[in-house]
Chain A
Amino acid sequence: MTDLTRLTIAEARARLAAKDFTALELTDAYLGAIEAANGALNAYVTVTPEQARKMAATSDARIAAGEAGALEGIPLGIKDLFATEGVHTQACSHILDGFKPRYESTVTANLWADGAVMLGKLNMDEFAMGSSNESSYYGPVKNPWRAEGANRDLVPGGSSGGSAAAVAAHLCAGATATDTGGSIRQPAAFTGTVGIKPTYGRCSRWGIVAFASSLDQAGPIARDVRDAAILLKSMASTDAKDTTSVDLPVPDYETALGGSLKGMKIGIPREYRVDGMPDEIEALWQKGIAWLKDAGAEIIDISLPHTKYALPAYYIVAPAEASSNLARYDGVRYGLRVEGKDIVDMYEKTRAEGFGQEVKRRIMIGTYVLSAGYYDAYYLRAQKVRTLIKRDFETAFHAGVDAILTPATPSAAFGIADQDLAADPVKMYLNDIFTVTVNMAGLPGIAVPAGLDASGLPLGLQLIGKPFEEETLFKTAYAIEQAAGRFEPKRWW
């Protein structure tokens, strides 16, 4: 029998329906792949084989009864940020030691209702703060990709590094992820996978450990554009438990694939051509432009003048919201407690031991910019700049642009424990330079693999769309995928 883990979700769905194999066989194939590879890659922090087999058996019964859901029997990995009832949920932080929620996040509940099977929880940067997956309490994830002829370990990107690595290495059929400044799109670009951050409000944030509430959105990472469309349809919903959840019906994204790009206007923002950007990234961007032109789209140069201020504004807004959201970890209600001489001493010791360096750094920045006397100079100004960033996009869309094409990242994946990046936190933050604008404006963005660099590492392009027009992104990304082909890492693990 062929290796079932090589199938896309669409292929597995068709063959499960045709009864070529059972959901249990498919789940066992993935559990076997995880067992064989996770020691090397560290993509999963917890595997749930009993639960997976039980869910798969239920799926087989539903398929036999003709009651299959949209994701019936499809084995998925879940980022450790999503609350899963009775199962390890720690945002890959020491401070949530032992936390097993008594409830299920809305996004995962939607997936299980559609018949998906949970394989386990995926590694990530602690509290989703990072671009390399190195801030996880459970150690770094290794990228399944290596440069040609090299054996240096590379990062899979972050914060959804475990999700991207597991999808690229065929340790799940697809994965949930979240994106606050680029945490779906950057790891997707680093691993040759497809990742979409939908419009703010499209997926419920209920039951997702909060980082920066005005920026956080859930989305899928998948092996191709069609699978990403299938997953997003099940993840998205209108949810009364999240007041920012939007009251719009969820479209069938898959039907958008293969549609013509004739008459579409694609904007190319000149401000995304940054100093020191490698020639390969520029060349990839030009290739993307040529592909979309060939597919019938019209290419228009546009200007988004406040682009360079998105990252500094983000590093005020996101830490400010994080410092508030993470105040709840105090050693009283859940997770780690370190005893102290009084209650304040207990709080301070618990948080000193429970949070990692990057998380502490961001809480400190957030506390500082919100503290008396600094609020107007930092936070209020950053929120005004955010209005200007959003206005730039609105101007482009009002002028008739349907979607915007940019590189996804300023480079390919870099090495684990890169000394240059470790010495300067701001350098690491620059990874999100092309993705963070999208979160600041609440727009949808998709990263799609578009080629390999000279050393054979994957590079991605990003498409940015109008609010709630994910279908346009899927349609356009599909055209890029048709032209670029798909990319698979050579197995070394």
Chain B
Amino acid sequence: MSVDLATVKRVAHLARIAVNEEDANRMMGELNAILGFVEQLSEVDVEGVEPMTSVTPMAMRKRADVVNDGDKAEDIVANAPNSDRNFFLVPKVVE
């Protein structure tokens, strides 16, 4: 399978990465090289093989369902590019 320019632009938008014509053209070549490389997986017989979900056969450990963290709003917004009274500020989303 290979991707065309329109697909590259669609995927870039899905990934929220702005691309211009030049970027999209370059990425198309790179993506097709990688997709060409992974194409060889189609020759593997995977009939009846379970997809891997965990490399170690162990039950996922779960923490006790209790509140053990919190009350650190200032820590959470400390690295924000723009915040006000412990809220993250973003451009207007709802009119």
| A336 and B44 contacting across the interface, CB-CB below 8 Å | no
| A425 and B34 contacting across the interface, CB-CB below 8 Å | yes
B31 at the interface (CB under 8 A from A): yes
A200 at the interface (CB under 8 A from B): yes
0/1 interface trace, chain B 28-51, chain A, CB 8 Å (1 if under):
001101110111111010100111
Q: State the CA gap A232–B90 with chains docked (Å).
A: 43
B19 at the interface (CB under 8 A from A): yes
Measured between beta carbons, the chain A residues less than 8 angstroms from B41 are 309, 312-313, 316, 381-382, 385
Listed stretches A131-139, A364-372, A446-454; interface member: A364-372
Measured between beta carbons, the chain B residues less than 8 angstroms from A240 are 61, 63
Min Cβ gap B62→A in Å is: 7
Secondary structure call for the B interface: loop
A243 at the interface (CB under 8 A from B): yes
Given A361-B27, A364-B27: A243 in contact with B60 (beta carbons within 8 A) = yes
B25 at the interface (CB under 8 A from A): no
| A342 and B91 contacting across the interface, CB-CB below 8 Å | yes
| A315 and B34 contacting across the interface, CB-CB below 8 Å | yes
Q: Which of chain A's residues has its CB closest to B82's CB?
A: A337
| B93 and A343 contacting across the interface, CB-CB below 8 Å | yes
Given A246-B58, A343-B93, A382-B41: A371 in contact with B14 (beta carbons within 8 A) = yes
Q: State the CA gap A368–B38 with chains docked (Å).
A: 13
| A348 and B34 contacting across the interface, CB-CB below 8 Å | no
Given A246-B56, A346-B91, A384-B46: A334 in contact with B17 (beta carbons within 8 A) = no
Specify which of A201, A312, A352, A380 is in contact with B18 (CB 8 Å cutoff): A352
Report how many residues on chain A are interfacial, defined by Cβ distance under 8 Å. Answer: 74
| A347 and B40 contacting across the interface, CB-CB below 8 Å | no
Measured between beta carbons, the chain B residues less than 8 angstroms from A374 are 1
Q: State the CA gap A348–B17 with chains docked (Å).
A: 4
| B79 and A333 contacting across the interface, CB-CB below 8 Å | yes
| B55 and A200 contacting across the interface, CB-CB below 8 Å | yes
Specify which of B11, B33, B39 is in contact with A371 (CB 8 Å cutoff): B11
Q: Which of chain A's residues has its CB closest to B47's CB?
A: A384
Min Cβ gap A379→B in Å is: 9
- Looking at B18, B53, B76, the one whose CB has the most chain A CB atoms below 10 A away is B18
Specify which of B38, B55, B60 is in contact with A316 (CB 8 Å cutoff): B38
Q: State the CA gap A122–B93 with chains docked (Å).
A: 39
| B27 and A390 contacting across the interface, CB-CB below 8 Å | no
Measured between beta carbons, the chain A residues less than 8 angstroms from B50 are 384, 387
| B52 and A364 contacting across the interface, CB-CB below 8 Å | no
Q: Which of chain A's residues has its CB closest to B40's CB?
A: A312
Interchain Cβ contacts under 8 Å between A and B, 27 examples: A100-B78, A102-B75, A102-B78, A102-B79, A240-B63, A244-B56, A244-B60, A309-B40, A309-B44, A313-B38, A334-B79, A340-B91, A342-B92, A345-B18, A346-B90, A348-B17, A352-B17, A361-B27, A365-B31, A367-B15, A374-B1, A381-B46, A383-B52, A384-B50, A385-B44, A387-B49, A388-B49
A interface, CB within 8 angstroms of B: 98-103, 199-201, 214, 240, 243-247, 306, 308-309, 312-313, 315-316, 323, 327, 330-337, 339-340, 342-349, 351-352, 355, 360-361, 363-365, 367-368, 371, 374, 377-378, 380-388, 390, 424-426, 429, 441-442, 467
- Apart from A340-B91, A467-B56, what are 6 other A-B pairs with CB-CB below 8 Å? A313-B41, A327-B16, A343-B93, A351-B16, A364-B17, A388-B46
